[in-house]
Structure 1
């Protein structure tokens, strides 16, 4: 499932890039236009129920497509055992140009048979009150000394749409995914860290690279540590996927380049970080006034199993290794004040720390963890860089050795014959040249 999905991502990403390139520069997104969010092509259609009595079941490892109206409350069912941790994420996708208010959003709750919440999370438009995809999740964590939500049985997933009566009264499309996480063989640690390295690292090396973002979690463009440039349209959201392994920290900033004009736009750029099960972790935003501005994520702990026992989202969200997602949104007001041409946006990403061994799970990880293919790809890249460095160093050493030998023989008046090991590096034989006696006998031959 994981590898097949990545294959679709490549094709979808190319299609998305072509679609963006085909857009005329002066065309604004019309109010009520469908959001270009790329839903999972394997998603099953499902309807949420008004009552828990007739809620339809969500299967483990499956993605669903649904919708919710203003003020809607929908119920879905999940059947859980007493060993695995369970997660249900909901991505809400309003249409472009939809009128938003501060409290517009979705709330996702996972409830036991008594109607008590195992967990509940709210995704709100907040001060960045413009239509864009956003996600929330709920989960059931099996704990060694837990008292509620620990038994096997039927659990209820409640999805609620919150908002203002002044907001656009249109249905929002939903993408729902249910996954489970196997238990640990030995139970694992139960105390969350109290501190971690929080100092911002130096700028990533390697120069800038171009990378267009995807339109959703499903076609998110994979990026690694480095500096990435993209062209982004106002009112749109762009997704990037970052593999982060156990013991590693992620630092990210997004900068919008300077432009002509000085009109002020509040919450012009919003960047959100989601974990491998599409759970919100933290965000950063910035206003814009025509000068370059940068948004940064709050400092985050290293990825560790025990993070789940902390109460804050930015700690307990970093509970497993895998693909973390950056969603970068530009306020549509930017297009109104600065024109509809795409803006230059630069992502700077650091993934600090060496990967550690994964905890001892009792079963396959599915959506969790960095795949062996990703690790091999990273290892191959490092080997290639190292080989290139060694190869360049070998050529340089051979060239310098040949030069020293030629210089010595010139001084001694001997014929200019390169050693066999260096002859293959020479483009053509070096011919004897006369040189004034006052010129230094050192330095590269004149033909170099």
Structure 2
């Protein structure tokens, strides 16, 4: 009996151990070589075409990977509805610290098959060392124009490089997201943000910093909430984080880069440290850089306007990507040249503010969450815990295993209890009599037969 109880308890304990398996280690590296940009683990390989007539189709919600050599011009295609908003992002990830020219550029253009340009974005390296670069373009509904029609649209990605820059092909990541249409008429004008800048940022929060390990790309960006967080970044790296920002809310991030001492004897690197905010569709909202040597502290602040649907109609291109609720990404870069002054990771403190209370979402004619937008309670919990998307999903899976384990344990114990109760009601079970060899018959005196009884087994006495 006791052996069976111990077996049941052991089964419950084993199920509990399954629920206690630790999460996988993050991609955070220590001192030494900087880690390169990491493609989304779900990205599918695609080969862009040299002609718009042959551009491969990008599916909504799917990430893709390709490569760009100097001078490359590659075409892809997307299919849009008549009233949906299409977002196409593209990022290049050269090897950290690779030789570049400040005039090297990377361009994205979205156009109709008739040649009408719907949107375009140019990203200039502006540094002598390569780092992750990119953003997004969008098809929004206009009062007039060929870009309002449903159908196929062309995406052109180009790379222009100086002859002295790295000649290798750089990894390219693409993603297409299609935002559902609104119910009723869409707005056609955006707010006036002509005077919006870093001065609008509130006082950064103080307090004890939580440790965080930033991801190496959008796919493994680490969640973080409002408050103070601290990471270590090897010069040459770009680390990625994500914050859930709901409708009507504003994200503000101040990145403080620690100094190791040395003062005036160390030369500053122009734009040696920076922070950028991207919208849920990976469109660049704001960027801020500061000169940094690694010896003296530096700081940069990135801001965003309140999240509003009509922001997409604003004239300031960097702000129109703050037009939907969802995960807002924060990218923090330390220039590789800083590594000539400091031989260890730089301590970076992130002071985050999410200003304003969540407001109701506009009425969409479709599933916004399925399209990759919006904020849930699970998103906020993952941000508080500092979890990436994969870590949050693993945590949910472990909780499911824990609930299954607890449920199975309860069933086992209940069955065991019922079995014990039934056994007691039936009374003691007679011990089995082992067969014995027959002794040789001996003459015995005649006696009256007597009843034979059995006592309880010795183990019960």
TM-score of the two chains, using structure 2 as the length reference: 0.73
Deviations 1:240-274 (A, max 9, x none): 10111110111111111121213122211021111
* CA shift for structure 1 position 375: 4.7
Matched, 1:347 2:350: yes
Structure with bigger RCO (C-alpha 8 Å, 6+ apart): 2
Question: How far off is 1:207 after superposition?
Answer: 2.5
Task: Give the match's secondary structure for 1:351.
Answer: strand
8 Å contact kept, 1:282–1:313: no
Shift of 1:317: 1.7
**Which has the greater radius of gyration?**
2
| 1:198-254 deviation digits (Å, cap 9, x = unpaired) | 533123255211111111101111111111111111111100101111101111111
SS at match of 2:340: helix
Aligned to 1:89: 89
Q: Does 1:272 align with 2:283?
A: no
Residues 1:171 and 2:141 aligned together: no
CA apart distance, 1:295: 0.9
Provide the C-alpha distance between the structure 2 equivalents of 1:199 and 1:121, rounded to a whole number of angstroms.
Answer: 26
Q: Distance in 1 between matches of 2:243 and 2:315?
A: 24
1:380–1:307 distance in 2 versus 1, CA, 3 Å: same
2:200 alignment counterpart: 199
Structure 1 residue 359 corresponds to structure 2 residue 358: no
1:4-59 deviations in whole A, cap 9, x for unaligned? xxxxxx967x2413xx14xxx4x445xxxxx5322122211110100112111111
1:109-144, CA deviations, whole angstroms, 9 ceiling, x for partnerless residues?
A: 111122121000012212x3421111122211123x
User: 1:146 & 1:87 partners in 2: Cα distance?
Assistant: 19
SS at match of 1:338: coil
Match of 1:118 in 2: 118
**Alpha-carbon distance between aligned partners in 1 of 2:179 and 2:251, rounded to the nearest angstrom:** 22
Measure, in 2, the Cα distance between the counterparts of 1:192 and 1:353.
19
Aligned residues: 356
Equivalent residues in 2 for 1:3-402, closer than 5 Å = 14-17=25-28, 20-21=29-30, 25=31, 27-28=32-33, 36-126=36-126, 128-143=127-142, 145-195=143-193, 199-262=200-263, 263-264=266-267, 265-289=269-293, 290-297=295-302, 299-339=303-343, 341-365=344-368, 366-375=371-380
Query: In the alignment, what sits opposite 1:445?
Result: none
Q: Comparing 356-365 with 181-190, which one deviates more in the overlay? A: 181-190
Q: Secondary structure at the match of 1:149?
A: helix
Cα distance, 1:278 vs structure 2: 0.9
More off after superposition, 100-109 vs 168-177: 100-109
Query: Which sections of structure 1, spanning at least 5 residues, go unmatched?
Result: 1-9, 30-34, 382-448
Asked whether the 8 Å contact 2:234–2:345 carries over to 1, the reply is yes
Q: Is 2:80–2:151's contact at 8 Å kept on the other side of the alignment?
A: yes
CA displacement at 1:356 relative to structure 2: 0.3
Change (3 A) 1:53 1:379: closer
Greater Cα shift, 218-227 or 88-97? 88-97
Q: Hey, what's the Cα distance between the residues in 2 that align with 1:269 and 1:251?
A: 17
1:417-428 to structure 2, matched below 5 A, reads: none
Bigger mean CA offset, 348-357 vs 365-374: 365-374
Unpaired segments of 5 or more residues in structure 2? 1-21, 387-461
Counterpart residue number, 1:446: none
Distance in 2 (alpha carbons) for counterparts of 1:344 and 1:380: 20
TM-score, structure 1 length as denominator?
0.75
Query: Partners in 1 of 2:33 and 2:374 — Cα distance?
Result: 40
Counterpart of 1:314 in 2: which secondary structure? Answer: coil
